[in-house]
Chain A
Amino acid sequence: MSRQSRHVQEYGTTAIIWMAATMVVIPFLWLIGDLLWNGWTHLSWSFVFSAPQNAGREGGIGPILMSTMLIVGVCMGVAVPMGLGTALFLSEYTRHDHVLGRLIRGSLDVLAGVPSIVFGLFGNALFCQALGLGFSILSGGLTLACMVLPILIRTAEESFRAISREQRLSAAALGLSQPTTIRTILLPAAMPGLLVGGTLGLGRAFAETAALIFTSGYVDRMPESLMDSGRSLAVHIYDLAMNVAGGNPNAFATALVLVGLLLIINLFSSWIATRWTSLNQLPA
């Protein structure tokens, strides 16, 4: 190969890789820019905290923000303990090739691929009707918990498995019991990975629309209990954009709030994860 064609090949490869990477960033920046352009002027503290009026064309998103927080709170409150427990069971209490472990992993993979609208129908049938919870924040939160469990369990299991065998062996060699080992060594060591999984799950829960339409409902009043129906931010955006003529400005502003929340959660968890790692590994 001549020197020149080698040069062309090298520069060509570099250019293609740069282009690919840039094209990934462009849609993201476009989206944020579009949201800011259309939503920023409608955004204010009173928008964030006041109640919607005129089907959401006017007023704010206070009750909707509250409902979202409650739904996500129920979801994570149920999913995190269950997910951690299952992940610990899979990584610490069963062999990797155990039948039950394989069954759980297989079903999680299937669950992770189920479309959210199917989760919505399932949640409606199980929580709203069979268990009699009706259209409520509780039904919505529980449905979301089913949805984020696969993400939580798989990331948590991977974080536990990434801990070196020597750490477990040396803990056992010191006569530490299994619960102590989990509490004092495995959980802290897996924490950065757990936070990443938690953030992914949280993000999915915050952004979910389809599964909530059938479970937590449409009501945009301030919820008084977990048994009240409540509208989430994503459902509100969907409703304003699709069903309410003239709802677009507020839809953009709401979307801006939602994306802002997700960004804050992401930044916060990666800050904790780095801080956690550096706390334990910074040269003394």
Chain B
Amino acid sequence: MDLTQPTPRITPDSDERRGFRAWLPYQSTDPCCEPVAHIRAENLSIAYEGHQALRNVNLEINRGCITALVGPSGCGKTSFLMSLNRLTDLIQRCQVTGKLHMNELDVLAQTTDLLHLRRAVGMIFQKPTVFPFSIRKNLELPLREHGTHDRMRLNSGIENVLKQVGLWHEVKDRLDRPAQGLSGGQQQRLCLARALVLSPDVLMLDEPCSALDPISSGIVEDLIVSLRGHYTVLIVTHNLAQARRIADHIAFFWSFEGVGNLVEYGTAQTIFETPAHELTAAYISGARG
């Protein structure tokens, strides 16, 4: 197979939604969670200052699943995430083309309310990005911004998310202390709590464990697993073992001549045990990438 060519597409033989699925690469047929498409990308391409970073991604992400985006650096995984909550708008001369739907919402439409979109799509970055004030204020700020001002509701919301990320007992006595005094792992969990406090539908994590020590990384990973079924989780990771442990679906990206492509998408089992594309097999086995 000529690896420099864009992703070949295989049309599943019998599928009711053939019209859309016909464009999906190597779509596996046995979804593990709710087999309901939550996010659909059609021919999604992203270019920075005229240079293509991601080309013609066709992908259907199921609701409530954990989908891992894997592949070498620079193949457009983070760009893909950032197009989902339109953070790409903040990047100078970044152009996103194609179609992107979240449920019925047309994400890329000019009329889309960005503040609402971003409320529905939480995002965690590689480095913990706590804001330079207290733990309480870190969590209150997004709630207040989206219209919750009642003290009781603020407090109960904060307590709930901190319990959800297992941080409550560690920080309940120092909620008013600076968030930057927490350890790296705790900061990352606080960031997760801050994203969850807005009750998003989708949670995107961009290499959330790569800046953490193995123990903190394990805690955050367990936490991500506990989100399965409650949120649609997309996680970019370079840690294949982690992807194998936690992901229901894997999207494998590869860069062809500097342009990112989605090479293969399927259940974690399929990707790890019977990958259809030889690049995937080579990457999984450690022979490439």
Interface residues of A (CB under 8 A from B): 95, 164, 166-177, 180, 184-185, 188-189, 279-284
Most interface-central of A172, A189, A281, A283 (chain B CB within 10 A)? A172
Q: What would 5 A/B residue contacts be, using CB atoms closer than 8 Å? A: A166-B125, A174-B118, A176-B115, A185-B131, A188-B132
Contacts of B121 in A (CB 8 A): 173
Given A169-B87, A169-B90, A284-B182 in contact, is the A176-B142 Cβ separation under 8 Å?
A: yes
Nearest residue in A to B125 (C-beta to C-beta)? A166
Minimum C-beta distance from B233 to chain A (A): 15
Q: How far is the CA of A170 from the CA of B182 in the complex (A)?
A: 18
| In the complex, per-residue mask of B89-118: 1 if CB is within 8 Å of any chain A CB, else 0 | 010100000000000000000000011111
- Report the separation of the CA atoms of residues A95 and B92 in the bound assembly, to the nearest whole angstrom: 7
Verify B85–A173 contact, CB threshold 8 A: yes
User: B177, A166: Cβ atoms under 8 Å?
Assistant: no
A-chain residues with CB within 8 Å of residue B125 when the two chains form the complex: 166, 169-170
Chain B min CB distance to A14 (Å): 38
In the bound complex, how far is the Cα of B180 from the Cα of A168, in angstroms?
A: 16
Known: A184-B141, A281-B132. A174 touches B194 (CB 8 A): yes
Bound-complex Cα distance A172 to B195 (A):
12
- Inter-chain CA distance A92–B227, complex, in Å, is 35
Partner pick for B87 among A95, A172, A279, CB 8 A cutoff:
A172
B133 at interface, CB cutoff 8 A: yes
Contact, CB under 8 Å: B122 / A173: yes
- Contact check, B118 vs A172: say whether CB atoms are below 8 A apart: yes
Flag whether B289 is at the interface (Cβ < 8 A): no
* Closest beta carbon of chain A to B235's beta carbon, Å: 15
Q: Chain B residues near A189 (CB, 8 Å)?
A: 132
Contact residue among B92, B119, B181, B195 (Cβ-Cβ distance under 8 Å from A284): B181
A188 to B131 Cα, complex, angstroms: 10
On whether the beta carbons of A176 and B90 are closer than 8 Å, the reply is no
Whether B178 is near chain A, meaning CB under 8 Å from some CB there, is: yes
Residues of A within 8 A of B178 (CB): 279-282, 284
CB distance from B176 to the nearest CB of A (A): 9
| Binary contact track B158-187/A, C-beta < 8 Å → 1, others 0 | 000000000000000010011011100000
Which residues of chain B are near A188, meaning CB under 8 Å? 132-133
Docked CA distance A278–B198 (Å):
29
**Residues 183 to 210 of chain B near chain A (Cβ within 8 Å):** 191, 194-195, 198
Give, as a whole number of angstroms, the nearest-CB distance from B114 to chain A: 8
For A172, what are the chain B residues with a Cβ–Cβ distance below 8 Å? 87, 90, 118
Q: Name the residue of chain B whose CB is nearest to the CB of A171.
A: B131
Q: Which residue of B lies closest to A169 (CB)?
A: B87
Q: Does B146 contact A (CB under 8 A)?
A: yes
B65 sits at the interface (CB 8 A): no
* Distance in angstroms between the alpha carbons of A185 and B194 in the assembled complex: 15
A280 to B133, CA, bound (A): 6
Judged by a CB distance under 8 angstroms, whether B145 is at the interface is: yes
Q: Is the CB of B127 within 8 A of A166?
A: yes
* Other-chain residue from B133, B177, B191, B198 in contact with A175 (beta carbon distance below 8 A): B198
On chain B, the residues within 8 Å of A168 by CB distance are: 90
A185 cross-chain contacts in B, Cβ below 8 A: 131-132
In the assembled complex, the Cα of A188 lies from the Cα of B138 at a distance in Å of 13
A173→B84 CA distance, assembly (Å): 10
Contact partners of A184 in chain B: CB under 8 A: 131, 133, 141
When chains A and B are docked, how far (Å) is the Cα of A184 from the Cα of B90?
Answer: 19
In the complex, given contacts A166-B125, A173-B123, A180-B145, what are 13 additional A-B residue pairs having Cβ atoms less than 8 angstroms apart? A167-B129, A169-B87, A169-B123, A170-B191, A173-B118, A175-B115, A175-B119, A176-B145, A188-B133, A280-B132, A281-B132, A282-B181, A284-B182
